[in-house]
């Protein structure tokens, strides 16, 4: 039972490239399967946290694997967005989000090595929720972008507006703000030890 969270994190890492391979296929059904894989991977994130809390099982491997798996999942989702529409999902925004997450991951590793717990604020959890909701919206738009039935017409109509661009800017702003907040709140780790 104590290995379940780590197994689920590993599954999430494995499913992320599978999602990418399926997503970049031309066939609608393979893209749909890719979206299903992405959703399954996201569900494993909930369950590995649930098991870790319920059974109070936390290991050094788990502390490393869980956020790494989260990064694999979110990065794979964000990377496909500009291929859907680079004007609505610009590369500069994706780059900023990925850069922020890499910096905070390095910061987490640094605090762990110093054996100082990292303080997490509500903003970080809100950021994750906002990112995942936005990714689902973006992926659904990408799924139906080139279909001939009514869903495709609605999606193409949405893509003619700038609503997704504004949402992208909002998500990027929240992501960057939460990163700055992380560093400011945990700035004590940079003070030299006496």
Cβ atoms of residues 141 and 159 within 8 Å: yes
Measure Cα distances from 107 to 8, 54, 100, 129 in Å.
Answer: 24, 27, 10, 21
Q: Which domains does the chain have, with CATH numbers?
A: 4-189 (1.20.120.1760)
- Kindly tell me the sign of the dihedral angle through the C-alpha atoms of 123, 128, 129, 130: positive
What is the model's pLDDT at position 194? 55
Average the pLDDT over each of 81-90, 105-114, 125-134, 180-189 and give the range with the smallest value: 105-114
Q: How far apart (Å, rounded) are the C-alpha atoms in residues 135 and 115?
A: 33
pLDDT at 78 over 90: yes
Both tokens of 63, joined, read: 């502390």
Q: What is the CA radius of gyration of the chain?
A: 18
> Which contiguous run of DSSP H or E holds residue 20?
helix 4-23
Alpha-helical regions (H) of 85-149? 91-113, 122-144
| CA–CA dist 188, 118 (Å, integer) | 10
d(CA 22, CA 39): 13
How far is the CA of 22 from the CAs of 18, 27, 32, 74, in angstroms?
6, 9, 8, 16
- The pLDDT of 104-132, averaged and rounded, is 80
Q: For 27-75, what is each residue's pLDDT tens digit? A: 999 999 999 999 999 888 777 766 766 766 666 666 677 778 888 899 9
The pLDDT value given to residue 187: 79
Give me the percent of the chain exceeding a pLDDT of 70: 89
pTM of the predicted protein model: 0.86
Confidence of residue 107 (pLDDT cuts 50, 70, 90): confident
Rounded mean pLDDT, 120-147: 89
pLDDT reading at 76 higher than 80: yes
Query: What does the pLDDT look like over 95-104, one tens digit per residue?
Result: 999 999 899 8
104 touches 182 (CB < 8 A)? yes
Q: Which residue has the tokens 């680079």?
A: 86
């Amino acid at each position: 039972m104590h290995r379940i969270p780590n197994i689920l994190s590993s599954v999430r890492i494995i499913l992320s490239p599978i999602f990418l391979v399926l997503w970049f296929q031309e066939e609608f059904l393979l893209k749909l399967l890719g979206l299903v894989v992405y959703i399954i991977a996201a569900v494993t994130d909930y369950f590995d946290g649930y098991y870790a809390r319920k059974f109070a099982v936390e290991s050094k491997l788990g502390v490393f694997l869980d956020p790494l798996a989260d990064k694999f999942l979110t990065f794979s989702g964000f990377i496909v967005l500009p291929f859907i529409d680079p004007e609505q999902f610009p590369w500069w925004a994706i780059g900023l989000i990925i850069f922020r997450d890499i910096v905070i991951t390095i910061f987490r590793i640094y605090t762990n090595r110093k054996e100082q717990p990292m303080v997490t604020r509500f903003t970080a959890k809100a950021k994750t929720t906002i990112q995942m909701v936005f990714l689902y919206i973006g992926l659904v738009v990408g799924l139906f972008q080139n279909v001939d039935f009514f869903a495709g017409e609605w999606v193409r109509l949405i893509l003619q507006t700038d609503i997704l661009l504004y949402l992208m800017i909002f998500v990027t702003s929240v992501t960057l703000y939460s990163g700055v907040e992380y560093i400011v709140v945990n700035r004590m780790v940079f003070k030299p030890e006496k």
